[in-house]
Amino acid sequence: MRLIIFICALVPVLVGWAAEHLSPRIDKLIAAKAGGAVATRSDDSEFFRRVRLDLTGRIPSATDTRSFLQDTTSSKRAKLIDRLIASDAFATHWTDRLSVMLLERQKLGKITDEEWREFLAKNLKGKPRWDVLAQEMVGATGQGDERPAMKFLGTTDHHVMTENVARLFLGMDLKCAKCHDHPSVNEWKQAHYWGLFSYLNQTKTATNSKDKQTYLVEGVAMKKVDFQSVFKTEKEITGPRLPGGKEVAIPAFEKGQEFEKPAADGLPGVPKFRPRELLARDLTSKNNTYFVRNGVNRIWYLMMGRGLVHPLDELHTQNPSSHPKLMELLMREFVAHEFDVKWFVREIALSESYQRSSRFPNGVKKMEVTRYRTAHPKAMTPEQLLNAVLKATGNEGWVTKLKAMDNAEKFDQRGYFTGTNREMPPSFEEIRALFMLTYAEPAGTPEVDFIPGLNKALFLMNDRLIQDWLKPQKGNLIERLTKLETPKSIAEEMYLSMLARLPEADEIATIANYLERNNKRRAAALGDLAWALLTSTEFRLNH
């Protein structure tokens, strides 16, 4: 009898849990298509480094790793995930990620980087909603608290706007469809391009004569846009229309009746019909499956290193999702949870699919990356790499505080790379800029896949900042190591600090051997050992 009561009490809990939690359902659908053995669960070190990088952009300190490894609480992973998502570091890191994804490192418009970042961070500290963010960006006027969101549109080039909205919020790289139906993607039509365009083509900037600020305003839409394929002789026309949606009728007003508000303070009158405002509303609607799928796919990519649909801007039926049922589930749940980015990130992080080891299961030598049978190693972003290099070498404290003198001359960055400028960069800002010049893609290019390069390798190998950071100074890693006696303690401190794991016996032996052979140059030898880890694949990848 007691047992029955117990079971009765448990069933609703289990059912409720299953309905609520997405992560086990993710795992079920991934397992259904695995097609072979999956990797074991990541060990605590692997998980700890990965989840820290993904959620906060930073590798853990040796101390933090030690205490996580020693923690025997069974729910420690879930607790950690919650703590990290609630941290300011999450907001900072995801500001980097979303900013790079949406602006692609372009300097756009009048909104400063600081204002834009503050806007994103404020959202990320609360409940960031993908639909609301997108709505604020696409519909931005520059009025009110959401003013920084206008940075996304950035330009008054309606074609750039059209292409960015399509690519980043619908997963449609419609550039080709400007001049003709897409040549290889059958469902992407020229009419899609121009339908979006005609939502945006009334947008322009205007300056308020009182506050001198620039705003995005809309002119009066009078007629549909016409377009012509370079392969056809006849013209076509369209009004505002979303892919898969209905064309919006452009209302006709009697002369003088077009405006809701008259012109004032140098700003033109506010028309009654404002197509961009309608776009912001309808584009981001939960009924717009293109929008929902794109949002799901991009957040999944940020966590898993690969989109369910990949490339991210090729969302169409000829390039189907690797896991269609999972995609459907995620879309449904994302909508049901009001596009809550944090909720989604948390559910992914809690899944076994996310928490798998990046090591192959026993006996497996090769597997398809689309099956998620192991964790997919992700390249650290340029921001993550800079943070990780500084933290691993124990120089974060003093380097991030470096400031240029007020009267300092502009630092010659090009000369730094060619050798005509032999100065050290005077500030953290300049150091950051050198890293970005080396590791970031050129402005306007999506940073999605890992593109290693000669210059990137050479920088970590030979840059003089790196060499400097590997000399004992200011309490950094090498200085700490010089104070340790045994190879084991040295190896542990080095591996925990740099790779967030304990060294294996053979790795300790390698260190012992190297130090013995270099006993007359011990500090330098410690630098060599740390250099080897810093330039290693294990360090560079978030695995």
Partner 1 sequence: MNHIPHNHACGNTEHGVSRRQMLGTLGGAVGFGSLLQPGIAAEIKKQHKQVCLIWLDGGMSQYESWHPLPESKFGGPFRSIKTSIPGVHFSELVPETAKIAHKISVIRTMETKDPNHSTGVPRIQRGDPIDRGVIYPHLGSAVAKLLGPANPNLPPYLWIKPGNGGFIAKEAGFLGAQYGTLALGDGKPPIHIHRPDGVSAEVEAARNALRLKANERFKAYRGASEIDAYETSYAMARQLMARKEIFDDSKMDPKDKERYGTHPLGRHILQARRLLEAGVRFIKVNSYHWDTHGDNFNMSQRLIPQLDRPFAALINDLEDRGMLDHTLVIVMSEFGRTPIINSRLGRDHWPDCWSIALAGCGIKRGAIIGETTKDGAFVNGEGYDIGHLFHTIFTLLGLNPRKTRYRIKGQKLAIAHDDCEPIKEVMQ
16 binds partner 1 (CB under 8 A): no
484 binds partner 1 (CB under 8 A): no
Rounded distance between C-alpha atoms, residue 200 and residue 162, angstroms: 7
Distances (CA, A) of 64 to 49, 57, 385, 391, 533: 10, 15, 19, 12, 19
Joined together, the tokens standing for residue 271 give: 């028309």
- The residue whose two tokens read 């076994």 is 352
Instruction: Select from 189, 201, 275 the least CA-distant residue to 232.
Output: 189
Q: Which is nearer to partner 1, 260 or 528 (CB)?
A: 528
Joined together, the tokens standing for residue 498 give: 């740099």
Instruction: Give the nearest distance from C-beta 206 to partner 1 in angstroms.
Output: 29
86 binds partner 1 (CB under 8 A): no
Q: Vertex 85, ends 39 and 394: CA angle to 5°?
A: 80
Joined together, the tokens standing for residue 469 give: 């950071």
Compute the 3-state secondary structure of the chain and give helix, strand, coil in percent, each to the nearest 5: 55, 5, 40
Instruction: Give the nearest distance from C-beta 121 to partner 1 in angstroms.
Output: 28
Residue from 255, 365, 410, 520 in contact with partner 1 (CB under 8 A): 365
Of the ranges 18-26, 27-35, 342-350, 361-369, which one interacts with partner 1 (CB under 8 A)?
A: 361-369
Residue 227 in contact with residue 196, Cβ under 8 Å?
Answer: no
Q: Count residues contacting partner 1 (CB under 8 A)?
A: 69
Joined together, the tokens standing for residue 177 give: 């469809």
Q: Which is nearer to partner 1, 341 or 466 (CB)?
A: 466
Residue from 281, 464, 474, 483 in contact with partner 1 (CB under 8 A): 464
Q: Partners of 340 in the beta sheet?
A: 129
Of the ranges 107-115, 264-272, 289-297, 523-531, which one interacts with partner 1 (CB under 8 A)?
A: 523-531
Instruction: Select from 441, 391, 496 the least CA-distant residue to 57.
Output: 391
Q: Partners of 226 in the beta sheet?
A: 237
46 binds partner 1 (CB under 8 A): no
106 binds partner 1 (CB under 8 A): no
Residue 102 in contact with residue 298, Cβ under 8 Å?
Answer: no
Q: Which is nearer to partner 1, 95 or 384 (CB)?
A: 384
Rounded distance between C-alpha atoms, residue 475 and residue 458, angstroms: 27
- Tell me, residue by residue from 282 to 321, as one string, x for binding to partner 1 by CB under 8 A and - for no binding: ----------------------------xx--x-------
369 binds partner 1 (CB under 8 A): yes
410 binds partner 1 (CB under 8 A): no
Q: Which is nearer to partner 1, 264 or 369 (CB)?
A: 369
**Residue 172, φ and ψ in degrees, nearest 5:** -115, 115
Instruction: Give the nearest distance from C-beta 89 to partner 1 in angstroms.
Output: 25
Window 182 to 201, contacts with partner 1 (CB under 8 A): 183-184
Joined together, the tokens standing for residue 165 give: 């909205």
- Tell me, residue by residue from 144 to 173, as one string, x for binding to partner 1 by CB under 8 A and - for no binding: -----------------------------x
Rounded distance between C-alpha atoms, residue 177 and residue 449, angstroms: 24
Window 431 to 460, contacts with partner 1 (CB under 8 A): 441-442, 445-446, 448-459
Give the binding site for partner 1 (CB under 8 A): 173, 175-176, 178-180, 183-184, 230-231, 310-311, 314, 358-360, 365-367, 369, 374, 376-379, 414-420, 441-442, 445-446, 448-459, 461-464, 467, 507, 510, 514, 524, 528-529, 531-533, 535-538, 540-541, 543
